Every structure is written in structure tokens, then in C-alpha cells.
Structure 1
């Protein structure tokens, strides 16, 4: 069965992302077409780009990078839950992406973003990053406004249209993850 990781892309104290990622996971877990697992970046503390070689070379020197690589390699696609900080994604999510290369290749990615304007600019930045990592980002995106879907900017209360958008996003991530399976298999065979 296809495995989809839901990456919680914020480690800040009092982060709104935990509520959002839990909501995504709760809705996704009701589906029968894939297995969904929450990946909290707090559980994977990665120093800022501390590997001596570029990730494209695949020679990870540090145990934390090898553990992160094994975790990411086990999934077929991802839903990235991202805040918008200064018109971009969080530094911790960017660093987690930059630590690896081949483990991201030929996998689907969908984006659930939140911020004053729904985090749309963070998701657009992630599309560029994922393209460089040879990931296929899906067209549907979920944008959650701090103004309308968070009471007092902190208590998450998703609107009905956001639930519908998430269902479509999950459909697309599962479909693309399934469609990309032959490419992942070919890459793994070539690496052996």
C-alpha cells in the first residue's frame, strides 16, 4: 500500500502547525487507499546543513542524516504542512528538505499552508524546491488563513471548503504517488 508522510514543517513554541497537521492526519487516516503517518520535525533535529558533502552525492556522514534519510525513503509521497514566514516556508522545513536528495526523488508532494494570506507564498516556494528535488507537486493546495480559520489567530477551526480542498489534495497525492511507483522502482534497481 502507498505510504504518505505528513510533514509538520514548524518547530516553534506555540506553533499552529500542530493543530493543522493533526487535522490533516485525522482526515487522511479515514481513507483506505493509503497509509498516512505524521512526521514531526521536532522529532528529527537536523543541524543546519552540517553534512560535508552535497546531498546529491548521497554519502551521508552523520547518524542524524542517515536516520532522516531512512525515514523519508520509507514513504511514497508527502503532504507538507507549512507556515508562511516572510513570504516563504520555515527554515526548519527547508533544512530538512536540503539534507537529502535521492530520498525525495520521484515522489508526490501536496501542500497545506497557513498564514495571514493562507500561506500561499510558502507553498509556491515549496513548489520550486520540490521541483529541484525531482518531486511531482500536485495542483490542489490547501490555504488556511489566520484571519478566518483560526480563532484569535491560535485556535484552528477549518472551514467546510478547506475540508473539501484537503480531500482533493489527498486524492491527488495518492494518485501521483501510485503513478510514480515505476520510476521509484527503476531508481532503486539502478542504485543496487
Structure 2
């Protein structure tokens, strides 16, 4: 029996006052319960990445920084990605952009989805992130989860500080749609990558 595909849930914020862990843990648990992947959380606050300072991306030449190379090797083990992100000035955080830039080959032809949070559900950050993903030859799916407005205030510490279970009914339909679509694209792209490797061998 083939092993399950692997999903990385990537926390896209590193600041000390961040909120990302609450929705991040929640979506990781939902993905595990869905059953299509082995799920691992990648917390950028715990990964020692330099600012990007290579001559070029690893699409064109191997990276030299050992931490960047370690990050690339880790990413290579995954078949799908879920990015959990806030919105900073209508975009993603600098830490997440740097993490994306530190690899290229390892993102290619793998599906990605987004869980955004904030008063607008990080909708503008999500739009920017999808554009970056296209340039990195990922497969951004249509469906995403946007924790916004009243729902966001219910669970954020500066609002009600409640548990994610309090808003699950509001975001369950989009979550189910996202995971269902991501599972389909995970299988399709993994099969296609395996076929390409076999043809190249």
C-alpha cells in the first residue's frame, strides 16, 4: 500500500503577538481528521532562515546557505501545502515571503490552499499569495478559508478570545470545500510527478 501524501501546514507569521497558532492548530487537526494526508506543521518562528541572499533561486543554481538547503530538503518531502496567514498592509508577512523565496524546485507542481484571518479574512494577502504561488509553479486551488469580521472577533484575544469551535459552523462549509479540492489536486499532481520521474529515469 502506498504511503499517504504529506501535507505541510505553514504558519505565516512569526511575531510574538501573533494569532496564527490558533487557526493553524485547528486546520491541521481538521486536515488530519479528513484523512487524506499525513500532516505536519511548519512554524516559521522555529525555522532559522536567513534573509534571501543567494545569487539566484535554486531553480537555476544550488543554494549555498545550509539553513536554506535544509528548508528546501524539508519542503521536498511534502505533496501539498496549506498556508495560514494574516494580512499585513494588504499582503503577506515578510517572513512568509522570505520562506517562499528560499526555495523554488520544491514548490513546483504541488497544490496549495490558504487559511486567512483578520477583519477582511486576509483576502488581499491571499490574492497576493496565490500570485506568488503561480510564479513558483504551485497549483493554487480556488477554495480557501477566510476567518473574518464577527467570526474573527469571537476567537481573537482582542475580541472574545473564544475557541475555534465557536465559529466552526460558519467556516465549516468553506473548510470542507477546500480540503476536498486539495485532496483531489494532491492525488492528481502526485501521480503526474511520479509519472514524470519514471519517464525521466
Provide Cα deviations, 1:123-181, integer angstroms capped at 9, x if missing partner: 10011000001111111111111543233742254341212211221111111011011
**Whole-Å separation in 2 of the counterparts to 1:125 and 1:188:** 31
After TM superposition, the runs of 4+ consecutive aligned structure 1 residues lying more than 6 A away are none
More strand, by proportion: 1
> Match of 1:162?
171
Match of 2:185 in 1: 176
Which SS does the other structure have where 1:39 is aligned? strand
- In 1: Cα distance, 2:147 partner to 2:67 partner: 32
**Residue 174 of structure 2 aligns to a residue in which SS?**
helix
Gaps of 5+ in 2: none
Question: What is the distance in 1 between the residues matched to 2:196 and 2:44?
Answer: 26
Q: 1:184 to 1:85 in 2, by over 3 A?
A: same
Which structure's residues are more often helix, by fraction? 2
* TM-score, with length taken from structure 2: 0.88
- The root-mean-square deviation of aligned C-alpha atoms, in Å, is 1.9
Query: CA shift at 1:28, angstroms?
Result: 1.3
**Do the aligned residues in 1 keep the contact of 2:34 with 2:179 (CA within 8 Å)?**
no
Aligned position for 1:45: 48
The answer to whether the 8 A contact 1:28-1:170 is kept is yes
The answer to which of 173-182 and 17-26 deviates more is 173-182
Q: Could you tell me which residue of structure 2 aligns to residue 121 of structure 1? A: 124
**Cα drift, residue 116 of structure 1:** 1.8
For the pair shown, the structure with the greater C-alpha radius of gyration is 2
Pairs aligned (count): 192
